[in-house]
Structure 1
Amino acid sequence: MTHHYEETLPGGGHTSLVIKKGQILRLTDSDGGANVSLMLFNAHEKSERLNLPDTLKGQHTARLGAGHCLYSDMGRVLAAIVTDTCGWHDSFGGVLNAAEVAEKYGKGRYQELRNGFHRNGMDNLLVEMGKWNLMLEDLPMVLNLFSKVTVDEKGRFTFHSQHSAPGSMVELYAPMDVLAVLTALPHPMDPEPEYSPRPVELSLREASDPQGLTLCKTSRPENLRAFQNIERFAV
């Protein structure tokens, strides 16, 4: 299997890349307990981006995993989750800003910690977005891969620690050219008091007929229509 791109995203790191039509991005939680905050944009028209409310409503679930699709605000599939050994990915938690990270973990300044300083999700994502001429007003909701958050009957959130085991993996198939922006930082609801972001392995490969794509297209009638919209409004 030929990989076009492989990278270890260190804990606290951030990156961005274009997943071309017909390619799969694999993310692997090598050590366990990782969290990756992910944003998706139409690579050719970045005003079109991931819409998590539509993603959840269209598929009648708040638990995203294999067989689910990630919708854009134009009703198209930006990515399909074709493989998933983790079983649950969170769409509620968002990311922390600098003040929230300082409140939770302490100041963690570069002056004392050098490259181990406490990074925050908002700034990390904005750094990557700036490389693509995107700014704060372009910051959408994020999907937190490898994290599980449940909601009880009274609307209370519960974060499930160590949900992702070492080696857990998720694969995202792109049916259109997609810009992915991501950062590897602790989930905002993670109760761990120490700042300890975990690394994630990334790889990109061609997959014109990926296993699991049929399930994504057929798990909900809305999904098939969202795939059809890709051709109807092709860029």
Structure 2
Amino acid sequence: MIKESQLKAEDAYFTKSVDAGDYFIYQINAGDTIRIVDSKGNQAADTLFYNANDVSERYSAMDTIREQGALYLTSGSMLKTNLNQDMLEIVADTCGRHDTVGGACATESNTVRYDLEKRCMHACRDSWMLAIQENEMYGLSKSDITHNINFFMNVPVTQEGKLTFEDGISAPGKYVELKAKMDTLVLISNCPQLNNPCNGYNPTPIEVLVWS
């Protein structure tokens, strides 16, 4: 469901542009609002969320889908943890739909889906691993890379129950905005994928803003 935000960019206490293929890691506090902006359109922001006070509690796609009774995420969706606790609520969304079943690209999946020669291409899981290695203070490890949300990504489910990767339904300047229900660690891989239409075969930057 399309819903505009009432927040003004100039009032944000934090703003950062994240290049395609780069990662973003940041802690927001309970009550903060974070906005992810699809700067150029048709980009995919693969995102993980953790309880900042105990990273063993993290975003759960299964609990979120079950509790809201809907496959896709949009304004009004409550993101749940693996302990079935409220984590974040999508309070504004100008894209209209976001994927949480397609998973994230990896060197292994690039090989299986596309070609052996694609194995060496950078992938979202590489970005997350680099973030973990360069930010040890958060206490994350490889085993903490689990369910993610693909903001702005279009992954339709066919009548046969299969997933397909299609052209994005986003556009330049579209955004999604989430309000934290707990202190939350946000880890984003701004997807470098060049092999399917999720980025229009042209990965571009995203922008992140945070309000208290």
TM-score (norm 2): 0.85
Q: 1:227 aligns to what?
A: none
Identical counterparts, % of pairs? 28
- Pair 1:54 & 2:63 matched: yes
Q: 1:157 aligns to what?
A: 163
- Pair 1:122 & 2:128 matched: no
Q: 1:69 aligns to what?
A: 78
Cα deviation digits, residues 172-206 of structure 1 (max 9, x gap): 10011000101111569834798532210111112
**Which 4+ runs in 1 deviate beyond 3 A?**
99-109, 186-189, 191-195
2:145 to 139, 149, 154: 139
Alignment of 1:1-235 (within 5 A): 1-101=10-110, 104=114, 106=117, 118-130=121-133, 131=135, 132-186=138-192, 190-191=196-197, 196-206=202-212
82-91 vs 161-170, greater mean Cα deviation: 161-170
121-130 vs 34-43, greater mean Cα deviation: 121-130
Deviation at 1:142, TM superposition (A): 0.8
Query: Pairwise CA RMSD of aligned residues?
Result: 2.4
Q: Secondary structure at the match of 2:156?
A: strand
Pair 31,56 (structure 1): closer, same or farther in 2 beyond 3 Å: same
* C-alpha separation in 1, matches of 2:84 and 2:111: 38
Q: Any stretches of 5+ residues in structure 1 without a counterpart?
A: 110-117, 207-235
Larger Rg computed on CA atoms? 1
* C-alpha separation in 2, matches of 1:193 and 1:183: 13
TM-score (norm 1): 0.77
Pair 157,23 (structure 1): closer, same or farther in 2 beyond 3 Å: same
Q: Any stretches of 5+ residues in structure 2 without a counterpart?
A: 1-9
Pair 73,100 (structure 1): closer, same or farther in 2 beyond 3 Å: closer
What is the total number of aligned residue pairs between the two structures?
Answer: 198
